[in-house]
Chains A and B, each alone.
Chain A
Amino acid sequence: MTFIQKVWAIVWKDIASELRTKEMLLSMCLFSFLVLIVFNFTFDTGLKNLRENISGILWVAFIFSGLMGLGRSFGVERDKGTLHGLLLCPISPWGIYLGKMIGVFIFMVVMEIFTLSVFTVLYNINIIPFLLPLGLIIFLGTLGFATIGTVFSAMSATTKARDVMLSILVFPISVPMIIALVKATYIILWGGAIQEIYPWLKILIAFDLVFLLLAYLTFGFIIEE
């Protein structure tokens, strides 16, 4: 119980701090908006073959702007020198990891809700009927992304060329997740039978569980000096 309270304190601190400036949330939302617009020009939206691409566009928007949030998650703590204060608190590394991870997750979800509504308008797709399965896929995808991203954010925050390094670490590892997300979203948006997404769901769940477990086992090694 104490553990959950402490994790929640970290999440609360991140959210309260972000709500003061809204800097990160605004830039994440703006960025994903831009991605949607740019892709609209790159792939002529009038064409039928857009259907193939549209779920990809959505996830590119999610992941690229998610990456912005991730980079700042530990980056800000290190720049402002608060990381040591956090590390000195009586909480296990896993607790610090969970707190930061949930923070990133919540910011991403806010950005995703915004992006989805813009997406519905710009691409003329009614997502209301698919809200439930789509929500599940987005939940699993965002969780997986935050899971690996928080680990690599903690690593890259200490290195040179921080942002580039974060992308280089996150992208290759997230390949199976991205494939599963794009395919599952595609099936859902174009009215496929729900059974069709089961294999992808399995991959997503496996990905999330495996990497959460690995983060649990290894995060202590990342923050020690």
Chain B
Amino acid sequence: MAGTLYLFAAFSITWLIIFVYIFSISRRQKTLERQIEKISEALRDRL
């Protein structure tokens, strides 16, 4: 039974790490997209 617990811990931690990483990538991507949006808006206003 203890084995199952350890197994569960190992798998959940692994997935957690991977998902947190994917999440951080997508969040940074969103931030960049927002910045691009801002820049192009500012440029449109000037034109």
- Check A-B contact in the complex, CB < 8 A: no
